[in-house]
C-alpha cells in the first residue's frame, strides 16, 4: 500500500519533473527537507536551473512566495523589514520584509556580505525575527531555499559556519547528461529561460499532505544501533586529522531526521545504515570545515566523508521494531 509520504514524494517528482529535467536526486532531497521542516541550500554554477527549481517548488506549495536577489550592498533590514514613521498617525509602524512569507527564495546568497547573511540565522532556527527589540513570528512552516555559486567565483562571500549549520541539506546541481541537455534545449528554446512554464494548475502540495507525510515519518522505527552508528560517524568527523570543525550536534540530529524521512519516502518501516549513508553527503559535507593543509592539497569534504564512512563500522542485524 502506498503511504502518504510516498504519495507526496511522487507528486513532487512528477510535477517538478515537468519543468526541470534530470534532477531526480535533487527533487528527492527537496522532498526530504519539506517533510523534515528544514531549509535547503542549492549550489551550482550559474545557469543550471537553481532559481527555476526553487520557483517551481514554491508554486507547488502555494501560500506567499518572496524572492530576494542578493547583492553586495544589501542590508539586514532588506530581509527582515523596518519601522516606518507615519506622519498622519504620528507613530511608527512595522513594514515587514520578504522573510514574512511561506516560501522564501534567497537567490545567490553568497553575493551578499556576512552581516546580511546573518540576518537569516534567527529566522531559520526559530521561525521569528527580532527587530528593535520586538520579536515577530514568521508563518508556520517557514521554508528557505537559498542558492549559491561556487566559492571560487568572483564577488562571492563564504557563508559563516553558523549559517551553513542551519541548512538541513546542501544539494549540488551539476551539468546535465547529454540526453537531458537536449531535452532542455528542445523545451526552452524561446526567450524566458523556462520561467513562464511554471504551471499554477498543477496539483499543489497542501499542508495537510505534509502533515500526513510527517505522521508516516513518526511511524518509522529508529533502533539504538542506528543512534550509535550516527554518533560514531559524527565523532569520527570531529577527530579526523584533516577536519578542523566536524559535525555539530545539530548536524547529528539532522542526519537522523533526514534518514528517517528518506526511509518513509521509500515506504520503509525502519531505518537501516544504508538510509543514513544515502543522506550523509547532503547533510554533512557543507558542515565540515577542513584544515588549511587539506584545502591546499585539493581534498574536498566529500572525499573525506567517504573515507570516514568507510572507516566507521556499520551495525549488522539492525532491529526492525522495538
- Total domain count, the chain: 2
Tell me how far apart the alpha carbons of residues 66 and 97 are, in angstroms, rounded to a whole number. Answer: 9
Same domain, 33 and 173: yes
Q: Would you say residue 68 has pLDDT above 80?
A: yes
Task: Give pLDDT tens digits for 74-94.
Answer: 998 999 998 888 888 888 888
Per-residue confidence (pLDDT) for residue 321, from 0 to 100: 77
- Give me the CATH number covering residue 273: 1.10.8.80
Decide if 322 is inside a domain.
no
Task: Mark out the alpha helices in 169-300 (DSSP H runs).
Answer: 178-187, 207-218, 224-238, 249-265, 273-284, 292-296
Same domain, 91 and 174: yes
Per-residue confidence (pLDDT) for residue 48, from 0 to 100: 85
pLDDT level of residue 200 (50, 70, 90 thresholds): low
Residues 6+ away with beta carbon under 8 Å from 114: 157, 159, 160
Per-residue confidence (pLDDT) for residue 27, from 0 to 100: 94
Containing domain of residue 285, as a range? Answer: 220-315
Secondary structure E strands in 44-160:
65-69, 81-86, 91-96, 103-107, 128-131, 134-137, 143-148
Same domain, 39 and 187: yes
Q: Tell me which H or E stretch contains 245.
A: strand 243-245
Residue 282: HSE in the Cβ half-sphere, 13 Å Cα cutoff = 30
Same domain, 230 and 135: no
Task: Give pLDDT tens digits for 92-129.
Answer: 888 899 999 988 989 888 888 888 888 888 899 899 99
Decide if 50 is inside a domain.
yes
Q: Would you say residue 177 has pLDDT above 80?
A: yes
Contact 35, 265 (CB under 8 A): yes
- Give me the CATH number covering residue 186: 3.40.50.300
Query: Of residues 249 and 161, which shows the higher confidence score?
Result: 249
Same domain, 91 and 182: yes
Range 165-189 average pLDDT: 91
Contact 271, 263 (CB under 8 A): yes
Q: Would you say residue 148 has pLDDT above 60?
A: yes
Decide if 269 is inside a domain.
yes
Contact 93, 86 (CB under 8 A): yes
pLDDT level of residue 194 (50, 70, 90 thresholds): low
Q: Would you say residue 241 has pLDDT above 70?
A: yes
Decide if 232 is inside a domain.
yes
Same domain, 32 and 162: yes
Query: Of residues 55 and 107, which shows the higher confidence score?
Result: 107
pLDDT level of residue 28 (50, 70, 90 thresholds): very high
Decide if 6 is inside a domain.
no
Query: Of residues 183 and 156, which shows the higher confidence score?
Result: 183
Residues 6+ away with beta carbon under 8 Å from 69: 107, 108
Same domain, 141 and 247: no
Range 192-213 average pLDDT: 73
Per-residue confidence (pLDDT) for residue 152, from 0 to 100: 58
Decide if 9 is inside a domain.
no
CA angle at 127 for the pair 145 and 165, rounded to the nearest 5°: 55
- What residues are paired with 84 via a beta bridge? 93
Same domain, 190 and 288: no
Decide if 4 is inside a domain.
no
Same domain, 257 and 130: no
168: nearest Cα among 80, 286, 263: 286
Cell of 128: 521569528
- Residue 221 carries which DSSP code? B
Decide if 36 is inside a domain.
yes
Same domain, 239 and 183: no
Same domain, 183 and 307: no
pLDDT level of residue 319 (50, 70, 90 thresholds): confident
Share of the chain above pLDDT 90, in %: 52
Amino acid at each position: 500500500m502506498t503511504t502518504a509520504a510516498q504519495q507526496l514524494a511522487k507528486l513532487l517528482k512528477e510535477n517538478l519533473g515537468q519543468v526541470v529535467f534530470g534532477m531526480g536526486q535533487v527533487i528527492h532531497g527537496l522532498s526530504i527537507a519539506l517533510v523534515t521542516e528544514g531549509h535547503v541550500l542549492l549550489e551550482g554554477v550559474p545557469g543550471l536551473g537553481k532559481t527555476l527549481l526553487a520557483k517551481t517548488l514554491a508554486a507547488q506549495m502555494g501560500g506567499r512566495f518572496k524572492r530576494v536577489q542578493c547583492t553586495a550592498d544589501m542590508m539586514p533590514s532588506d530581509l527582515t523589514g523596518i519601522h516606518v514613521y507615519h506622519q498622519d498617525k504620528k507613530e511608527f509602524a512595522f513594514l515587514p520584509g520578504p522573510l514574512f512569507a511561506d516560501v522564501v527564495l534567497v537567490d545567490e546568497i553568497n553575493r551578499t556580505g556576512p552581516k546580511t547573511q546573518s540576518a537569516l540565522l534567527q529566522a531559520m532556527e526559530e521561525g521569528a525575527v527580532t527587530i528593535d527589540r520586538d520579536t515577530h513570528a514568521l508563518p508556520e512552516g517557514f521554508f528557505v531555499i537559498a542558492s549559491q555559486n561556487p566559492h571560487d567565483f568572483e564577488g562571492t562571500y563564504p557563508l559563516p559556519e553558523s549559517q551553513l549549520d542551519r541548512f538541513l541539506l546542501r544539494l549540488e546541481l551539476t551539468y546535465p547528461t547529454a540526453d537531458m541537455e537536449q531535452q532542455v534545449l528542445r523545451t526552452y528554446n524561446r526567450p524566458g529561460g523556462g520561467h513562464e512554464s511554471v504551471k499554477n494548475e498543477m496539483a499543489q502540495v497542501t499542508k495537510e499532505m505534509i502533515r500526513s507525510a510527517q505522521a508516516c515519518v513518526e511511524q518509522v522505527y529508529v533502533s539504538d544501533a542506528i543512534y550509535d552508528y550516527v554518533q560514531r560517524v559524527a565523532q569520527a568527523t570531529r577527530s579526523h586529522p584533516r577536519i578542523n570543525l566536524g559535525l555539530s550536534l545539530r548536524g547529528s540530529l539532522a542526519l537522523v531526521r533526514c534518514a528517517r524521512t528518506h526511509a518513509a519516502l521509500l515506504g520503509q518501516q525502519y531505518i537501516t545504515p544504508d538510509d543514513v549513508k544515502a543522506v550523509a553527503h547532503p547533510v554533512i559535507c557543507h558542515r565540515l570545515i577542513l584544515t588549511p593543509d587539506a584545502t591546499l592539497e585539493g581534498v574536498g569534504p566529500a572525499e573525506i566523508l567517504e573515507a570516514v564512512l568507510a572507516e566507521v563500522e556499520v551495525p549488522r542485524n539492525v532491529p526492525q521494531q522495538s
